[in-house]
Amino acid sequence: MAGKNLLYRKRIINHLYFSKMLSCAEISEKIEKSLSLTTKILNELVAEGYVLETGYAPSSGGRRPLMYSLKADIMYIVSVAMDQFVTRIAIMDMHNSLLDKVQTINISLANNPDALQMITGKISEIITRSGIDKSRILGIGIGMPGFVDAIGGKNYSFFDNGATSITSYIESKTGIPVFIDNDSSLIALAELKFGSARNKRNVMVINISWGIGLGMILDKTLFRGDDGFAGELSHIPLFQNGKLCSCGKSGCLETEASLAAVVEKAKLGLTGGRASVLSMEKLDTDSPEKAGAAVIQAAGKGDRFAVELLSEAGYNIGRGIAILIHLLNPGLVVLSGRGAQAGKILQAPIQQALNEHCIPRLSANTEIVISDLGHEAQLIGSAALVVEKYEKSFTNKKKIQEAA
């Protein structure tokens, strides 16, 4: 029974993390166990300081149920959000609040044999500096671009680590369980659990960054495909432009609509004499993050050239979304990730492209929204990955004893 109770405890922690606050009856329904057993386990978790009684639910007639939530600082998660040029690392509590400010490393993943070692060293440094005992860290969740084998712990696009998986390498250096997944899938997971896609059935989450990623939520479940590689919207060949893509092909959506493409077009425009508040000094920098932000900020201030660049990118993204609508007929499309900071500047041309390229009957009920989570979605998704795996993969004996 002790082993089974441990499993139910983990399920309760899982559901409270994702739902934030639940009644005993709601928890009982979710873990599919009797009210009496659920009450017993909840009382144990309250006594041990894992769960808090947070008051009574608003009255809807009848007796108000007592509500429960996780104690925020009972456990922590190391959340890592990588893209091709920038890695962000944060320690988050069980309410997804930051323990300290997000740490940023400007590091290119491509053709960089030292990248994994450098990032692992930074993760270890941040954990040590936090002063948190490793027994209280639930795991390390990592979202990264590329073809990610979440089960095998490998990335076929970056980090050629020989026979050793990425997860095994970081676990060996930190002593903490590690889970990885594609960045766009984790952004979609964040939107599904905490953002605009919550309680929605079929949703396409567009990760606008140095590429154009896609996380697909089908029938309220994150869809990854047979090999876990579903969602490569960035590499749909939409153009006859002869531009080489990072995937090795040419004419992909990424070559015209990504933030990397926008920055390159901005440089060409300035070189050609376009008037703009942008300058080559702002764009020709060692930090792609600052260059992309400069274009978005200029557009936000009404700079005509920057608005044109983002509008063109938005229109082309809309062409890609039109294909998704014809194939999957989603009720919602969420614009998320780094580029979602451009907001309505992208939203309007995307809608224009849908008006031009979609069959009206198919797109009539598809809503386009900007993520409330924005650029933080990947960090939240990386943390959510750890908790999602907690019930099935949390097998370290020492941690199990301490959580029991």
Do 157 and 215 lie in one domain? The reply is no
Do 129 and 200 lie in one domain? The reply is no
- Which stretches in the chain have pLDDT values below 70? 1-4, 59-62, 392-404
CB 168: neighbour CB atoms within 10 A? Answer: 15
Distance, in Å, from the CA atom of 290 to the CA atom of 371, rounded to the nearest integer, reads 21
Sequential DSSP letters for 313-372: HHHHHHHHHHHHHHHH--SEEEEESGGGGGTHHHHHHHHHHHHHHS-HHHHTT-EEEE-S
Number of domains in the chain: 3
311-366 pLDDT tens trace = 999 999 999 999 999 999 999 999 998 888 888 899 999 999 999 999 999 999 99
Do 215 and 361 lie in one domain? The reply is yes
What is the reported pLDDT for 392? Answer: 66
Percentage of the chain lying above the pLDDT 70 cut: 95
Q: Which of 22, 40, 70 is the last residue of a domain?
A: 70
What is the reported pLDDT for 237? Answer: 93
Q: Find residue 141's DSSP bridge partners.
A: 79, 179
CATH of the domain at 63: 1.10.10.10
Parallel, antiparallel, or unpaired: how do β-strands 76-82 and 137-144 relate?
parallel
Which ranges in 195-287 belong to alpha helices (H)? 254-257, 259-271, 280-283
Residue 295 within a domain = yes
What is the reported pLDDT for 162? Answer: 73
Residue 191 within a domain = no
Do 307 and 387 lie in one domain? The reply is no
303-316 pLDDT tens trace = 999 999 999 999 99
Q: Are 99 and 76 in contact (CB under 8 A)?
A: yes
Do 365 and 237 lie in one domain? The reply is yes
Do 357 and 316 lie in one domain? The reply is yes
Distance, in Å, from the CA atom of 20 to the CA atom of 13, rounded to the nearest integer, reads 10
Do 275 and 398 lie in one domain? The reply is no
Residue 246 within a domain = yes
Residue 93 within a domain = yes
Residue 275 within a domain = yes
Average confidence score pLDDT of the chain:
91
What is the reported pLDDT for 308? Answer: 97
What is the reported pLDDT for 59? Answer: 65
Q: Which of 22, 50, 70 is the last residue of a domain?
A: 70
Do 350 and 211 lie in one domain? The reply is yes
Do 163 and 205 lie in one domain? The reply is no
What is the reported pLDDT for 250? Answer: 92
Q: Find residue 76's DSSP bridge partners.
A: 93, 137
Which ranges in 67-211 belong to alpha helices (H)? 115-130, 166-174, 183-194
Domain that holds residue 263: 196-372
Do 59 and 121 lie in one domain? The reply is no
CB 396: neighbour CB atoms within 10 A? Answer: 16
What is the reported pLDDT for 6? Answer: 82
Q: Which of 320, 299, 342, 327 is nearest to 256 (CA)?
A: 320
CATH of the domain at 171: 3.30.420.40
Residue 138 within a domain = yes
Do 15 and 151 lie in one domain? The reply is no
E strand or H helix at 73: none
Do 217 and 366 lie in one domain? The reply is yes
